[in-house]
Amino acid sequence: MADEKIEETEEENKDEESATEESEKPIDDEESPVETPDEVEEIEEEIEEEIDEDGEESLEDLEGIGPATAKKLMDGGYSTIKSVATAAIGDITEAAEISEAKAKKVITLAKEKCNMGFESAESLLVKRQDIGKLTTGSETFDTLMAGGLETQAITECYGEWGSGKSQVAMQLAVTVQLPLDKGGLDGEALFIDTENTFRPERVMQMAEGVGLDPKEVLKKIHVARAYTSDDQMLMSEKAAEMVRNSNIRLVIVDSLTSLFRAEYVGRGTLAARQQKLNRHLSTLHKLADLNNCVVYITNQVMSKPDMFFGDPTKPIGGHILGHSATFRIYLRKSKAGKRIARLVDSPNLPDGEAVFKVTENGLED
């Protein structure tokens, strides 16, 4: 009996040793075949599907954000972690229906995910290499703007009626479709029309002037007519989703202030108007910065008859708009059908003027 027990024990030890050896052996190729390049590519595509187009993780990756809250944020226009990181606490509270403390925590976590904080000026200089320039069609105008209108910035053009603000807007909607080597951004345009100034017939003329197919150009310009300031602001907020899901590189608002000026009359409504305008401009700034696109806005003017010296023409919008616009350009008429563009304000360019013509083919020197 004792010998039988010893034999059984030895057999069990051998089984355990063989099992250990089996576990330590590398897995055969038959059990774990090496993926072919095509299979590896398919796996990578599956992983990429879980990450959005900008390379960001999903909202549910933020601590405290579940599927229900993520859906509410997406319905409110916050589809990326970066959009949450740049939002105000009150906006997140309202959109996700959560407390201010939780909204603050979510925004803080989103900022950490996006590495939003202090950085060296050297690294910022490297990031600015991604900024593009959009040609106006006029070499002198482009020279004034150091190569064209910048992406990640708001460019404002103000002037009297007939000075060429809307002509510049339609010209940009055409030139943005040009390839990069011709001064374009190889993209599409989004046009928010508040004064019924957009004319597809005029765009077709300009398209022929730069050698593009007029019908193809019209297909790549998305136009929306705004009738109230609320409608205008809503369109700018919805534009963010359109820009993310398509190749839109230019957003135009023509004009920015006309509806605000019509709805808010008198000094008693000035504070409410300026607060609303400031919020609208904040949305446009985020749109330009987060999507690396050009934002071009036109602005109306007013006259100061009590001004005896200097130019009595002043832009609407007050200091709110003056501080918010990255570049300010004053357009005015000249002789023989010429227009003068004067760079009034810029963070990095000197003041100057450019003379150009508005012809049947568009903007020319």
DSSP per-residue string spanning 210-274: TT--HHHHHHTEEEEE--SHHHHHHHHHHHHHHHHHS-EEEEEEE-SSHHHHHHS-SGGGHHHHH
Name the residue with higher pLDDT: 276 or 305: 276
Q: Give me the pLDDT at residue 203, please.
A: 97
User: What b/e sequence results for 57-73 when a residue is b if at least 16 CB atoms lie within 10 Å of its CB, and e otherwise?
Assistant: ebbeebeebeeebbebb
The CATH number for 57's domain is 1.10.150.20
Band the pLDDT of 40: cuts 50, 70, 90. Answer: very low
Indicate the residue among 85, 113, 141 that finishes a domain.
Answer: 113
pLDDT beyond 50 at 26: no
Same domain, 55 and 177: no
Higher local confidence (pLDDT), 306 or 85? 85
Closest by CA to 331, choosing from 320, 343, 345, is 343
Residue where a domain terminates, one of 113, 137, 162: 113
Q: Give the separation between CA 29 and CA 119, rounded to whole angstroms.
A: 48
Residue 167 sits in the same domain as residue 316: yes
**Whether 181 and 329 share a structural domain:** yes
- Which is more confidently placed, 76 or 198? 198
Residue 88: predicted pLDDT: 86
Phi, psi of 357 (to 5 degrees): -115, 150
Whether pLDDT at 287 is above 70: yes
Closest CA to 223 of 146, 163, 169: 169
| pLDDT above 60 for 4 | no
Q: Does a structural domain hold residue 252?
A: yes
**Domain ends where: 49, 82, 113?**
113
**What's the pLDDT score for residue 48?**
42
Work out the pLDDT band at 184, boundaries 50, 70, 90: very high
User: Is residue 344 in some structural domain?
Assistant: yes
For residues 206 and 30, which has the higher predicted lDDT (pLDDT)?
A: 206
- Beta pairing partners, 298: 157
How many separate domains does the chain show? Answer: 2
106-115, 215-224, 231-240, 242-251: segment of lowest average pLDDT:
106-115
In a domain, 215, yes or no: yes
pLDDT of residue 240: 83
| CA 187, chain centre distance (Å) | 13
109 and 144 assigned to the same domain: no
Residue 79 lies in a domain: yes
Mean pLDDT of 164-180: 97
Average pLDDT over all residues of the chain: 84
- Note the pLDDT of residue 36: 53
Strand-pair category, 188-193 with 248-254: parallel
What does the alpha-carbon distance between residue 116 and residue 103 come to, in Å, rounded to a whole number? 17
241/257: higher pLDDT: 257
DSSP letter for 25, please: S
pLDDT in tens, 293-349: 999 999 999 877 666 666 778 898 989 999 999 999 999 999 888 999 999 999 999
pLDDT at 160 over 90: yes
More confident call, 49 vs 79: 79
- Region 237-257: mean pLDDT is 91
- H-run or E-run covering 139: helix 139-144
Q: Is the peptide bond before 334 cis (omega within 30 degrees of 0)?
A: no
- Give yes or no: residues 130 and 98 share one domain: no
Whole domain around residue 50: which residue ranges? Answer: 37-113
